[in-house]
């Protein structure tokens, strides 16, 4: 019975992917046919939709650096008895807060560093 359910789940997944792809192609074909019927140039319309994806390596690098800096700071601060008691009282949640704080600060820095200059 469990194998049948697993097979139905996979069948449903692949059927939904196939039909999504099929209806996408069908809609694109209808759109192009409508443009051809109205005597429009298809190349002009699709040339305007040019989009280049750039992976944000700088932002990712700054985020990882900020989280690592926060983790390193917590490791060094945990040798102080007062900070160690705070970490023990919060069941380690203070470590999570420090990581998120420094990760957030690094994302703010990354936003301003990666922002294009207005010349």
pLDDT, block means (10 residues), the chain with 119 residues: 84 92 91 83 66 77 89 87 85 84 89 72
Exposed e or buried b per residue across 15-43, where buried means at least 16 C-beta atoms within 10 angstroms of its C-beta: eeeeeeeeeeeeeeeeeeeeeeeeeeeee
Query: Hey, CA dihedral for 55, 61, 66, 71, is it positive or negative?
Result: positive
Structure tokens at 38: 């109205």
**pLDDT (0 to 100) of residue 119:** 53
The confidence score (pLDDT) of residue 19 equals 93
């Amino acid at each position: 019975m469990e194998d049948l359910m697993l097979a139905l789940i996979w069948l449903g997944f692949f059927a939904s992917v196939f039909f999504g792809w099929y209806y996408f192609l069908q809609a694109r074909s209808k759109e192009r046919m409508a443009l051809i019927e109205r005597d429009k140039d298809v190349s002009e319309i699709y040339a305007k939709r040019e989009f280049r994806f750039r992976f944000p390596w700088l932002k990712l690098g700054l985020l990882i650096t900020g989280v690592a800096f926060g983790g390193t700071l917590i490791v060094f601060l945990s040798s102080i008895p007062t900070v160690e008691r705070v970490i023990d009282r919060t069941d380690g949640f203070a470590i999570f807060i420090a990581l998120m704080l420094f990760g957030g600060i690094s994302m703010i820095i990354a936003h301003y560093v990666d922002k294009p200059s207005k010349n």
